[in-house]
Amino acid sequence: KANFKRISLKGAEDFHNISIFRIAEAIKNLVEKEGPLHRDIAKRRISELFQVRLGSRISQKLDYAISYAVGNDLDMLGDFLWADGQKYAPLRVFKGNGEKRSVEHIPPEEIAFAIVECVQNAMSISEDDLVRETARLFGLRATKQVAGEVRSVIQSLFRINKLSRKNKKISL
């Protein structure tokens, strides 16, 4: 998790006086340290950095700053901000401390990495077990929503022949 020096502000009005460039630079630094990062998480982390409540006006200014950063220093795939030139999402396993991410805040590329790791470790595995083990890596239970996201990524890995199925078992 990136550590940023807190910025001394008096509130939202001071935040609105900060240039979009400066906020975009903070977003870029955050994404370079923690990316890929869901845009909502980036907005929350930057609002915490600047010590402002993430209301509609702050959110709108952060959206402008994200657009500026994406046009200059960052890439955006879906709702995820990527550092310029970043090709892979690291596998960030939940270790019981720190912030647990919800499944919609985990890039599909990272879920794919986790799926491949689980299959590699098991050699072959049923789809239900694969969903459960993948969710567990992120500190999540295999709820309907989590299972749906993981199964969607599993299907995409079948389409690109990264996974195969034989006798109801999935392997590489």
pLDDT number for residue 16: 83
- The Cα 4–Cα 27 span in angstroms is 11
The pTM of this model reads 0.86
- Number of CB atoms found within 10 A of residue 24's CB: 23
Backbone angles phi, psi at 122, to 5 degrees: -90, -20
What tens-digit pLDDT sequence spans the chain (172 residues)? Answer: 555 544 454 566 678 888 999 999 999 999 999 999 999 999 999 998 888 889 899 999 999 999 999 989 899 999 999 999 898 999 998 887 777 899 999 999 999 999 999 999 998 999 999 999 999 999 999 999 999 999 999 999 999 999 999 999 999 9
pLDDT number for residue 14: 77
- The Cα 26–Cα 143 span in angstroms is 35
pLDDT number for residue 96: 79
pLDDT number for residue 23: 94
| 3-state secondary structure (DSSP) of residue 38 | strand
Q: List the one residue out of 148, 153, 139 whose CA is nearest residue 89.
A: 153
